[in-house]
Structure 1
Amino acid sequence: MNDAGRRSRRSLARLTGFAFVLASALPVAPLAGQDDAMDEVSATLDALHEAASEADFDRYFSLYAGEAVFLGTDATERWTREEFMDYTRARFDTGTGWTYHMLERHIAIAPGGGTAWFDERLENANLGETRGSGVLVMEDGGWKIAQYNLTIPIPNEMAREVAQRIRALTGGG
């Protein structure tokens, strides 16, 4: 190979390397289908809140995965799906559910697309602003809630006082 050929190959190699570096610095577009998955997760959460508001037991629990866990606002409230079904059935059988209106929601989809997690700010007539967070999994061709955690956010300025009141109520140290 002559000098001109070697220079041409080196130039091509440099150009290819430069193009690779430039391309790797560009913002990455969302994974194909990720926007659709996020919309489906959001629709599942909307359906959950709607079914709860309507006290629709069957629809509500059709949105939970088989091994789901619900974490309530009380420290003792860690329910398996079956335990939560028992608690909820008694309430929903009276025709009364619970209504939460979504104020803000953030959703992320794991690489591979089979798991999602979320956090959402909610408004409830009795509790005021609450927060829901949790995990959804793809199960039987649809998104199912594997864990839901309902909390009541406490302003930092009130945290110590609230913690002291909880300790006094529960007899904690």
Structure 2
Amino acid sequence: MKRLFIALCLFAASLSASAQQADPALARAVNAFVDAWHDDAAHARPAYFDKIAPDGVYIGTDKSELWHQPQFKEWAKKYFERGSAWSFKAVRRNVYASPDGNFIWFDEILDTPNMGPCMSSGVIRKTATGFEILHFQLSFAIPNELAGQVTKLVKDFESKQH
């Protein structure tokens, strides 16, 4: 896992000098893909997991939530069995691409009914058959003014876990 993370960081760093907003056609295709992926979760469609690369990683909001695609699919099974998993609607999304357009990354602000405002980022690989998500990370969007209170709650919670 550490190697994958380091490789992604080095890859992103190597591209940062040449990183650019994705061209409009690619950005539209990526937006449609990511919107469909979020919609698949909202409607518990198995296609949701097909959009994650077999070697893809999903990082949730809890520090224990770091899964490779097969483990994530198993963890999420209980949510998909009930007919709807989670609902994420992008309020804003930025899409960037490598010069050849084969690697795309995005960041987005999400409206979620159950978790409030969230932020996410992801890395997408373009393949001969379409796009696949290599890496996705979800986080709560906590206002800076509340960060101290949230940090204290987390520290208090974790101190009781030991």
TM-score, with structure 2 as normaliser: 0.81
CA gap 1:146/1:42 in 2 versus in 1, 3 angstroms = same
Q: Unaligned regions of 5+ residues in structure 1, if any?
A: 1-29
Tell me the distance in 2 between the aligned counterparts of 1:141 and 1:108.
20
Counterpart check, 1:56 vs 2:42: no
Q: Which residue of 1 aligns with 2:24?
A: 35
User: Could you report, residue by residue, the CA deviation over 1:87-130 in whole angstroms, capped at 9, with x for unpaired residues?
Assistant: 11221112121111111111001111110110111111111111
Instruction: State how 1:36-115 maps to structure 2 within 5 Å.
Output: 36-57=25-46, 59-115=47-103
State the superposition RMSD in angstroms.
Answer: 1.8
Q: Deviations over 1:124-156 (max 9, x none)?
A: 111111111110011343111111111101111
The code of the aligned residue for 1:87 comes to W
Moved over 6 A (4+): none
1:75 alignment partner, SS class: coil
Q: Kindly indicate whether the alpha-carbon contact (under 8 Å) linking 1:137 and 1:144 is maintained by their aligned counterparts in 2.
A: yes
Contact 2:57 2:69 in 1 (8 A): yes
Indicate the structure (1 or 2) with the bigger Cα radius of gyration.
1
Give the superposition deviation at 1:51: 0.4
Q: Which runs of 5+ in 2 are unaligned?
A: 1-19
Task: Kindly indicate whether the alpha-carbon contact (under 8 Å) linking 2:104 and 2:125 is maintained by their aligned counterparts in 1.
Answer: yes
Q: 1:102 and 1:86 mapped to 2: Cα distance? A: 25
Determine the C-alpha separation between the residues in 1 that align with 2:86 and 2:149: 28
Q: Percent identity?
A: 30
Aligned counterpart for 2:154 among listed residues 153, 163, 166:
166
Is 1:133 matched up with 2:121?
Answer: yes
Shift of 1:60: 0.4
Q: Aligned residue pairs: how many?
A: 141
Q: CA deviation at 1:68?
A: 0.5
TM normalised by structure 1 equals: 0.76
34-43 or 110-119, which deviates more: 34-43
For 1:30-89, what per-residue CA distance to the aligned partner results, in whole angstroms no more than 9, with x for missing partners?
Answer: 89x9322211111110111110010002x1011111211000011111011011000112
* Distance in 2 between residues matched to 1:121 and 1:55, nearest whole Å: 21
